[in-house]
A and B are shown apart, each in its own frame.
Chain A
Amino acid sequence: MRGARIVVESLIKEGVDLIFGYPGGAILHVYDELYKVQDRLRHVLVRHEQGAVHAAEGYAQATGKVGVAMVTSGPGATNVVTGLQNALMDSTPIVVISGQVATTLIGNDAFQEADVVGITRPCTKYNYLVKRVEDLAPTIKEAFYLARSGRPGPVLIDIPKDITAMDFPFVYPEKVELASYKPTIKGHPLQVKKAVDLMRQTEKAVLYIGGGVVTAGAEAEVRELSRRLNLPVTPTLMGLGAYPPKDPRSLGMLGMHGTYTANMAMAKADLIINIGARFDDRVTGRLDKFALNAKKIHVDIDPASVNKTVNVDVPIVGDAKHVLQQMLEMLPEEPPPARSAWWAELREMQARYPLRYRDRTDCIMPQRFFEELASLTQGRYICSTDVGQHQMWAAQYYPVDKGRNWLTSGGLGTMGYGLPAAVGAALSGTKEPVLCVTGDGSFQMCIQELATCVQENLNVKILIMNNRFLGMVRQWQELLYDRRYSEVGLKYFPDFVKIAEAYGATGLRAEKPEELRAVMERGLNTPGTVLMDIIVHKETNVYPMIPGGAAHYEILLGPEDAEDAQPRELA
């Protein structure tokens, strides 16, 4: 069988039925085979290779399956770098297949040649240059195994053009033999026991959950643990949806723009139970003031994430679902602890400092935009976001109650992620519309994928929170640079409604508060790809906010809570 066909048949053997890509010279042989297997393997043509990777990520985040992207050599491959790093930071399983110039040309500065394994080595979990046709099938088998197992991540396979033209009998391996790669799944029983004892003995405990809970499919176990130990729960940005946001034990999101109560709970806790999160700097704030009174339990499948930035008392390396099940089995049958004083303290903070803002009648407040969206959808649709203020408000107000319905770029903060990720999610088999919440800055970073949406007739509803600013950067310049707004006001704006129409999508606009709900309703109910340009107040800041390098208890509140918005010492 020809190498190119081996590639395609291997993908089919892996259960892949959808790939995102963009053809070119070095990958031509494979595209010729794709043409022949259209009935078994669907290829979606994007408009830029970055879009292909983010679409594969969106598909993977929404389904838990491995997303696949295919690109050509040189510029095709260098365009996937951002997506690879994004997937690495957010532990998203994807496999990228890139064409490469023929083995006889490698090193000659050939047309569209780039050292792609060299360039992508630090931004992949693993990568390969396939130099022999007999290695193709085993390499693809191993790549998928590495992408989805352990802490998932991106894997790239670089295939020279001549390899795809060579013949070799196709045998797909049954198993992967990797003596040096054995992810730990079960937690060490003694460590689990220690954790269970601590959870039962401490009063002011907080369950801090991250993307690992979604990856492991451990939502039910988290709920059960929270119920049986009466534990307050706070998700990270990546853990949103893993715990029902409306559940009384949810404190809302943690971190730089998390709720007052979630952050103060961390500051005051005597025990922090981290399940599948990594003590990211956006969550810990100032490290030497982080959770000073708390013992820490950390469950993570990646041993290198344990004791990386925060030293913990009970490290447990393992899969979140397995470890939680072990914890639940060890918990004695007993009524949940009351934690009355702790809950009273938390309830008081929640009552005093809820998420709030002052609404206006002369313009649409950004928070109102998200409240309206929440009320219309009840958080039941898949929602992708871009990066910036709109992302934080979406995280605060969109009540997503399923981890796989929340697609966002957490670790890398990639503007341009949202639209292609929505493309991937819309092709994941959902019958519902897929929301893409974006900003006027982010949207223009992968705006070309509107063509992909229309071409595939995708049920994607794009909502642009348009404040005519790179709002998050502007907010930092307002608060930290004395309002010196350096290059944050986009001086020229295309007419987004006309852009939508030019691409063949539906375009709508809301400028006044009284138009907001009607436009959203109409947009959500219009079939196909719809863009809603929502003009919001220009200079609203996202609060609460823990400034970079500050401690949790130095959290800033909005102008509504101005009298309390001073830095405060930890009680």
Chain B
Amino acid sequence: MTSGAPSTRHIISILVEDRYGELARIVGLFSGRGYNIDSLAVNRSTEPGMSRVVLTTRGDAAVVEQILKQVNKLVRVHKVRHLEGDSHLERELCVTTVRTQSARAREELERVIKLTGARVLAFSATAFTVEATGTSSDIDHFLELLRPLGIRDMVRSAPIALTRAGAEAEAHALEVSALS
């Protein structure tokens, strides 16, 4: 089993009614049953009155099965999806301000921007604020490249993930098998 190891990371996508206390119910379920949430992203979805929650957690196959079932049991949760394998795309946003006091530093930053597709959001005589998107490891790599320049400030979002075009059928089959 690919997801058998206790430390395997899992992405779970939840469609839940946007109501008072529903997020607390999801989060409370994790803490109450001893599961950890590594990251959490919540925002509106395309369906009116519904929020999309994307969270990552860790555990073996049995733990994930329980998590999926327990979340699905929540009264106002409409859909739970375990995003597995290469059926989905994952993106994280990072915004960071780096020091660029020397010409050499500005050149180096330019090189990193070209390499990673990052974007300049603001700048001053001594610093640039840039944003990058990518998978968690892309962002790790991006920050590694910037580290020699001196990172003054940094914020990164929780990863969001979506079933990629062409993989919907596969994801649906997984969802059904996990919950039946």
Could you tell me which A residues sit within 8 Å of B by CB distance?
Answer: 117-118, 121-122, 125-127, 129, 131, 146, 178-181, 188, 302-304, 306-308, 311, 317
Contacts and interface: CB of A to CB of B under 8 A. Distances in A.
B25 A180 contact: no
Contacts of A311: 62
A303 B21 contact: no
A307 B21 contact: no
B78 A304 contact: no
Interface of B: 17, 20-21, 24-25, 28-29, 32, 62, 65-66, 69-70, 72-73, 75-78, 179-180
Given A126-B75, A304-B70, A304-B73, A117 B179 contact: no
A162 to B, nearest CB: 17
B62 A307 contact: yes
Given A118-B24, A121-B24, A303-B72, A180 B78 contact: yes
B69 A178 contact: no
A311 to B, nearest CB: 8
A337 to B, nearest CB: 30
A180 B77 contact: yes
A180 B65 CA distance: 19
A-B residue pairs, 7 tightest by C-beta: A304-B69, A180-B78, A126-B75, A122-B32, A181-B75, A304-B73, A304-B70
Contacts of B32: 122
B36 to A, nearest CB: 17
A179 B72 CA distance: 12
Contacts of B76: 180-181
Contacts of B66: 304, 307-308
A340 B70 CA distance: 42
Contact of A129 (B21, B72, B73, B78): B21
Contact of B17 (A180, A303, A304): A180
Given A179-B78, A180-B75, A303 B179 contact: yes
26 contacts: A117-B21, A121-B21, A121-B24, A121-B25, A121-B28, A122-B28, A122-B29, A129-B20, A146-B75, A180-B17, A180-B75, A181-B75, A181-B76, A302-B73, A303-B72, A303-B179, A304-B69, A304-B70, A304-B73, A306-B69, A307-B62, A307-B65, A307-B66, A308-B66, A311-B62, A317-B180
Contact of A303 (B24, B73, B78): B73
A126 B66 CA distance: 19
A89 B180 CA distance: 23
B75 A178 contact: yes
A317 B17 CA distance: 25
A304 B64 CA distance: 11
Nearest to A126: B75
A188 B180 CA distance: 10
A406 B49 CA distance: 44
Contacts of B29: 122
A304 B69 CA distance: 5
A125 B74 CA distance: 8
A317 B179 CA distance: 10
Contacts of A131: 20
Given A122-B28, A131-B20, A304-B72, 17 more contacts: A118-B21, A121-B24, A127-B21, A129-B20, A179-B78, A180-B75, A180-B76, A180-B77, A180-B78, A302-B73, A303-B179, A303-B180, A304-B69, A304-B70, A304-B73, A307-B66, A308-B66
A125 B72 CA distance: 13
Nearest to A180: B78
A122 B17 CA distance: 18
Contacts of B20: 129, 131
A532 B175 CA distance: 57
A125 B75 CA distance: 8
A129 B24 CA distance: 14
Contacts of A178: 75
A188 B78 CA distance: 22
Contacts of A308: 66
Contacts of B72: 303-304
A306 B65 CA distance: 10
Nearest to A188: B180
A127 B66 CA distance: 22
A308 B66 CA distance: 6
A179 B66 CA distance: 22
A308 B76 CA distance: 22
A125 B29 CA distance: 12
A229 to B, nearest CB: 26
A303 B69 contact: yes
Nearest to A125: B75
Contacts of B25: 121
A530 to B, nearest CB: 42
Contacts of B77: 180
B129 to A, nearest CB: 36
Contacts of A307: 62, 65-66
Nearest to A123: B32
B161 to A, nearest CB: 21
Contacts of A121: 21, 24-25, 28
A107 B66 CA distance: 35
Nearest to B21: A117
A117 B62 CA distance: 30
B21 to A, nearest CB: 6
A146 B75 CA distance: 9
Contacts of B179: 303
A159 to B, nearest CB: 14
A308 B69 CA distance: 10
Contacts of A303: 69, 72-73, 179-180
Contacts of A117: 21
A181 B74 CA distance: 8
Contacts of A118: 21, 24
Contacts of B70: 304
A31 B113 CA distance: 69
Contacts of A306: 69
A469 B72 CA distance: 45
A179 B15 CA distance: 12
Contacts of B21: 117-118, 121, 127, 129
Nearest to A179: B78
A305 to B, nearest CB: 9
- Counting chain B CB atoms within 10 Å of each CB, the highest count among A118, A121, A304, A307 belongs to A304
